[in-house]
Structure 1
């Protein structure tokens, strides 16, 4: 087996290393979420952590890794013979106990619920009356590390299960009337690339600490990364041996900090400081306060202090609060260092003068982990946050700074109000992005029929975790108990049944067909032409699309964005799970020029065709936002007829769609209605997208 890359050999990422080490000292912190771009050694450093953890003593032949000193009284492999484990019987204790290294268990993205929590042999339970249970990954990770790579791509119900287990220290399996519970205390580490989609705020809050990592821009640092990696690949065992002493020193320091943790004092003054800082950042609930307190105690133990001081609270707040500040799903996570400094100053000013001596351990204490200060080559949190450059890399002017040639807003009622530019090849006159109107709770738009796509919350779908709708002998997920009993019952006399158990045959088994919800591909095709560019009107359109994007975020959809204006359409955002990216592109959307509606529809069709090949199970939903006033033909024909034909092609492809009618003014041409008829889709007025204005939940997309 190839040696793992040593933890101590990782260059930079000081905040990440510190967060992992503190969680190793105090697993009650609740785990670490590592956010960062691809190729930043997230997985490498997590895998190296397991080698630093102290070995564990376990009850021999216990599949759940029970601690001999405190065996789980509810262990499915128990009861364990506590008298054999007692100190008074050394020979029996030695025979009943074994030592092994702390495990690193990896949860793959495609894992099922059975693989995570374990599975039950229901056939044995029915025929023999025994509780036959096969442990899952939660049991294997007990007293070790559970590592979830790409945790943001894991099914939501699995994330809920593992976070519940991490918080309670136990895993529960309730299935077909059989209940199993076992200890599951582990160090939880999740990694994710935000470009591939965010975790829901509820799940973010369940992680104790979060760290953002980014590749260093320092040439010397990058050079050292390359040098060490190439040396490791040339001789993994030799490279690991060269760093064995440094890793052993860290492992010893973790063990010492664990032993010292129980004796670390948390003065009332520091409790008030923690409460004051968390209150200043307006975090929801009390979990943040508890995590900061536990992290501060772990940090004090790590640096060898007897009591928590302000420096411990500052480090803990910097690691525990960034992901808890999101007031909206599209808020950027992060912590303003100046705000944190101000919160600490305010808390200090409120402290009684007599408390200062109790909260400072001295200026010569070193709170940093081995390997460098917290603001090392990668900067705090692995690199300073960079402002969003916008969809075009930073070329968009500030809102309100209109470029030259910008056409004024025109009046209502004309067939092409506000359009500028012509067919002479000049670029359309741009208007700066409109400020979106306030968001609202969007009504439900769903795809008709029953799909089989990725789990989500939009459209009906066959799933592994939904409600049971019927039994089947061919397809399904899990045993349908009632169906199996009903199939076996008529044959018991012929099979010579004796006693209380059923006599089952393979043909009796029935599978449960379940129905839940799926996430869809929601492709937005947004008309950004001059006829849509009136400031007040585009503001309403942007606010409505943002509301639909928030709805897509909550329903776990993939999203894409096609915009059309001037003479052509463009794919502003290819389909992605990162709804945040779509929001960023929309907020920088510029308007102006003519209306190439047909090209917008054809571009959307091309995007959906390619995506169907990549992900055939995910059903699409096209949301067309337009006033329907086509002015640019495809090949010298009639613009309106071209748009109608493009819509008919999408309908022939079986694409579910909804047209959002943005036409306003005294003169209404009804173009969106004609376009909706060609698409086989409903036409919804812009103001009708709000759920508050619609009675009940509306299924707006009907079958073509």
Structure 2
């Protein structure tokens, strides 16, 4: 017996998330919801609870692709459908696991029938199952890149295209895309981020009474799931009826030219890319009006639509946090204020109490029974507490216990595109965009006998291996007689993500403001490169009396950028301590994830303090890393007319490369190549003359 789902109306608080999900239930064209928030905030619970509220759908009986009898898909693999009887079934909520295979997502050849019966048959994947329903991805930011590409194609075209292993299939795949993520574990690719219609930031309530109510209800549900769900049946039914009524009203809601002008003015003011934001805002505002039971879009609908549809679209670079300037939104709306409606002298509708107060109240979760907190004013609920003041005057130097004076943090230069650094050899790590590796995606380069459990069948190679033995095995009919030794698997060549560990000298020798600004800009640029290549990053800093792990290895490159910005400088230069700390961090990470290869980026001028033998000790520590086969790059920060070349000597002990700040820029390398070509051309011309 299936365990009762936790009721949607029993969830306490989280009004913005409740609203975002309900608006998509009313109008799936809004485009889904991305839920960003800390762990343990019931993100997944609320998304799964939504499935029980969705209206049932009519399908063609026996169709595995949920075709609508009123408008069947002409390219449906189970078609053609000629109308007739319809079958009612609930809209499915399909969960896409982070580690799912590509075959499971898009479907593939039914190998059992192909090999046993000799026929081609397509086995639908999760995209087909999610058609006209909800596709839910928990920890969507951890999804592998090749799976993200499949989702982008389906979300953009509303169809899934399967061209593989002799199968050519196209089928409809329109679904409500809902994803949850913890920003601390890394951000989404901008292309996928833009495919989510709305985004919601959530955090656990700090109100003791609300937290107590959350625990009370959860314990009651765990003790008797069916009984707990039964107590909320009436509220669930009322909310489902309200969703159905709003869907019926949706087509009759008027989006006036004035309201549309406000929407486009807001999108232009926030400089969002493309026009998808304008379309999503318009659809969201119409859904809000239908949800409230109104026949026209009001300014409050536009304001709420902006809060939900724009924060994740206004990021100008990967390290900008999502958000919306409420004052700028107010100014833009005021500049395009529509005239008051002469037919409504009483002004906007006044809330009539908890039962009519929208997703945060009444039968859908408000008040003491529904568990919702009062809906906050726009912008009030998302303001971080304890923000630093706006005083920009630099902090005075401080005396550091480890020796030397500590300077206040300086800002970084603007990031730029850097050279690509890779790890030599062929790895087997997680899918990414840095170093060559055998991966689940990429192009097939050869076939081999399976190593362990067969995961990616190389069909043609398997058939070739089995073909010479069919007569000896007594084959009869079309069925192919196979043995275990016939099976071959694909070997695919792609790129992997790596662990990029930054080891940054923050000592007094690096403390010159202009110099540290350039160094931070360089590291920030490398962090951006790591973000684009889906790497994990870590940060070790050394200064004063020792080294510290400022950022444990994580997929959240944004946290690394924040730690870098806050990094002060000053004190002695314990280079040996920094290298030994890096050695220890990589040793632990190798135990946790042995397939993820590391890339060490040492940022230093090569100097070391701590006695006459400080530099030899540092070089011995570098030798330890080299002996472990750690790929290394030394970012040489030495400046001035007289240079000792210590960083380049250290790179030799690491068996790595040394790169100056000027050589780090990708465009700098390109200009060097162009200069070399120009010189060669001029030389050739002179010789010819």
Q: Tell me the secondary structure at the aligned position of residue 8 of structure 1.
A: helix
Cα offset, 1:24, TM superposition: 0.6
Which position in structure 2 is the counterpart of 1:652?
627
Cα offset, 1:266, TM superposition: 1.8
Task: Identify if the C-alpha distance between structure 1 residues 678 and 192 changes in structure 2 by more than 3 Å, giving closer, same or farther.
Answer: same
Query: 2: CA distance between counterparts of 1:675 and 1:624?
Result: 10
Cα offset, 1:271, TM superposition: 1.7
Is residue 2:661 matched to residue 1:690?
A: no
Deviation larger for 616-625 or 264-273: 264-273
Task: Identify if the C-alpha distance between structure 1 residues 53 and 454 changes in structure 2 by more than 3 Å, giving closer, same or farther.
Answer: same
Deviations 1:216-261 (A, max 9, x none): 1222222222222222222222221111111111100111111121
Which position in structure 2 is the counterpart of 1:466?
442
Is residue 2:453 matched to residue 1:453?
A: no
Which position in structure 2 is the counterpart of 1:263?
252
Do the aligned partners of 2:307 and 2:378 also contact (CA within 8 Å) in 1? Answer: no
Which position in structure 1 is the counterpart of 2:685?
none
Q: Tell me the secondary structure at the aligned position of residue 210 of structure 1.
A: strand
Do the aligned partners of 2:115 and 2:480 also contact (CA within 8 Å) in 1? Answer: no
Is residue 2:232 matched to residue 1:243?
A: yes
Which position in structure 2 is the counterpart of 1:443?
419
Query: 2: CA distance between counterparts of 1:304 and 1:670?
Result: 73
**What does 1:156-195 correspond to in 2, within 5 Å?**
156-195=145-184
**What does 1:126-137 correspond to in 2, within 5 Å?**
130-137=119-126
Cα offset, 1:201, TM superposition: 1.7
Cα offset, 1:136, TM superposition: 1.4
**What does 1:548-563 correspond to in 2, within 5 Å?**
548-563=526-541
Which position in structure 2 is the counterpart of 1:615?
593
Query: 2: CA distance between counterparts of 1:690 and 1:426?
Result: 35
Q: Tell me the secondary structure at the aligned position of residue 359 of structure 2.
A: coil
Cα offset, 1:315, TM superposition: 1.4
Deviations 1:606-652 (A, max 9, x none): 0000011111110000000001111026xxx7101110110000111
Which position in structure 2 is the counterpart of 1:595?
573
Query: 1: CA distance between counterparts of 2:39 and 2:379?
Result: 16
Query: 2: CA distance between counterparts of 1:48 and 1:449?
Result: 47
Structure 1: gaps (5+ residues): 86-92, 406-420, 699-704
Which position in structure 2 is the counterpart of 1:528?
506
Is residue 2:493 matched to residue 1:515?
A: yes
Q: Tell me the secondary structure at the aligned position of residue 289 of structure 2.
A: helix
Q: 2:654 aligns with which of 675, 679, 689?
A: 679
Deviation larger for 642-651 or 213-222: 213-222
Deviations 1:148-174 (A, max 9, x none): 100001112212322432343322211
Which position in structure 2 is the counterpart of 1:368?
358
Which position in structure 1 is the counterpart of 2:552?
574
Query: 2: CA distance between counterparts of 1:106 and 1:490?
Result: 43
Do the aligned partners of 2:118 and 2:479 also contact (CA within 8 Å) in 1? Answer: no
Query: 2: CA distance between counterparts of 1:233 and 1:395?
Result: 45
Q: 2:223 aligns with which of 234, 237, 245?
A: 234
Do the aligned partners of 1:444 and 1:697 also contact (CA within 8 Å) in 2? Answer: no
Query: 2: CA distance between counterparts of 1:359 and 1:32?
Result: 34
Q: Tell me the secondary structure at the aligned position of residue 464 of structure 1.
A: strand
Task: Identify if the C-alpha distance between structure 1 residues 124 and 223 changes in structure 2 by more than 3 Å, giving closer, same or farther.
Answer: closer
Do the aligned partners of 2:544 and 2:570 also contact (CA within 8 Å) in 1? Answer: yes
Deviation larger for 197-206 or 598-607: 197-206
Cα offset, 1:64, TM superposition: 1.9
Do the aligned partners of 2:152 and 2:191 also contact (CA within 8 Å) in 1? Answer: no
Deviations 1:306-335 (A, max 9, x none): 122222211111110010000011001011
Q: Tell me the secondary structure at the aligned position of residue 287 of structure 2.
A: helix
Deviation larger for 613-622 or 433-442: 433-442
Cα offset, 1:134, TM superposition: 1.2
Cα offset, 1:494, TM superposition: 7.6
**What does 1:295-694 correspond to in 2, within 5 Å?**
295-348=284-337, 362-364=347-349, 368-371=358-361, 372=366, 376=374, 383-386=381-384, 400-405=394-399, 426-474=402-450, 478-480=456-458, 483-484=461-462, 486-487=464-465, 505-506=482-483, 507-632=485-610, 638-694=613-669
Instruction: Give the paired residue count.
Output: 656
Deviation larger for 267-276 or 58-67: 58-67
Cα offset, 1:212, TM superposition: 0.2
Do the aligned partners of 1:563 and 1:570 also contact (CA within 8 Å) in 2? Answer: yes
Which position in structure 2 is the counterpart of 1:27?
28
Structure 2: gaps (5+ residues): 352-356, 674-689
Query: 1: CA distance between counterparts of 2:26 and 2:568?
Result: 51
Do the aligned partners of 2:508 and 2:570 also contact (CA within 8 Å) in 1? Answer: yes
Cα offset, 1:482, TM superposition: 5.0
Cα offset, 1:456, TM superposition: 0.7
Q: 1:197 aligns with which of 186, 190, 208?
A: 186
Query: 1: CA distance between counterparts of 2:479 and 2:223?
Result: 61
Query: 1: CA distance between counterparts of 2:500 and 2:390?
Result: 26
Query: 1: CA distance between counterparts of 2:655 and 2:5?
Result: 57
Cα offset, 1:438, TM superposition: 2.0
Cα offset, 1:450, TM superposition: 0.6
Query: 2: CA distance between counterparts of 1:237 and 1:309?
Result: 41
Q: Scaled by the length of structure 1, what TM-score is found?
A: 0.87
Cα offset, 1:603, TM superposition: 0.2
Which position in structure 2 is the counterpart of 1:4?
5
Do the aligned partners of 1:533 and 1:591 also contact (CA within 8 Å) in 2? Answer: yes
Cα offset, 1:197, TM superposition: 0.5
Which position in structure 2 is the counterpart of 1:39?
40
Which position in structure 2 is the counterpart of 1:413?
none
Deviation larger for 163-172 or 203-212: 163-172
Query: 1: CA distance between counterparts of 2:292 and 2:149?
Result: 34
Do the aligned partners of 1:492 and 1:502 also contact (CA within 8 Å) in 2? Answer: no
Cα offset, 1:125, TM superposition: 5.3
Q: 1:101 aligns with which of 90, 93, 99?
A: 90
Q: 1:280 aligns with which of 269, 274, 287?
A: 269
Is residue 2:127 matched to residue 1:151?
A: no
Query: 1: CA distance between counterparts of 2:349 and 2:112?
Result: 65
Q: Tell me the secondary structure at the aligned position of residue 323 of structure 2.
A: coil
Which position in structure 2 is the counterpart of 1:71?
72
Cα offset, 1:71, TM superposition: 2.5
Do the aligned partners of 1:2 and 1:236 also contact (CA within 8 Å) in 2? Answer: yes
Query: 1: CA distance between counterparts of 2:126 and 2:348?
Result: 45
Do the aligned partners of 2:543 and 2:572 also contact (CA within 8 Å) in 1? Answer: yes
Do the aligned partners of 1:558 and 1:577 also contact (CA within 8 Å) in 2? Answer: yes
Do the aligned partners of 2:402 and 2:545 also contact (CA within 8 Å) in 1? Answer: no
Query: 1: CA distance between counterparts of 2:341 and 2:638?
Result: 66
Task: Identify if the C-alpha distance between structure 1 residues 565 and 244 changes in structure 2 by more than 3 Å, giving closer, same or farther.
Answer: same
Query: 2: CA distance between counterparts of 1:81 and 1:256?
Result: 30
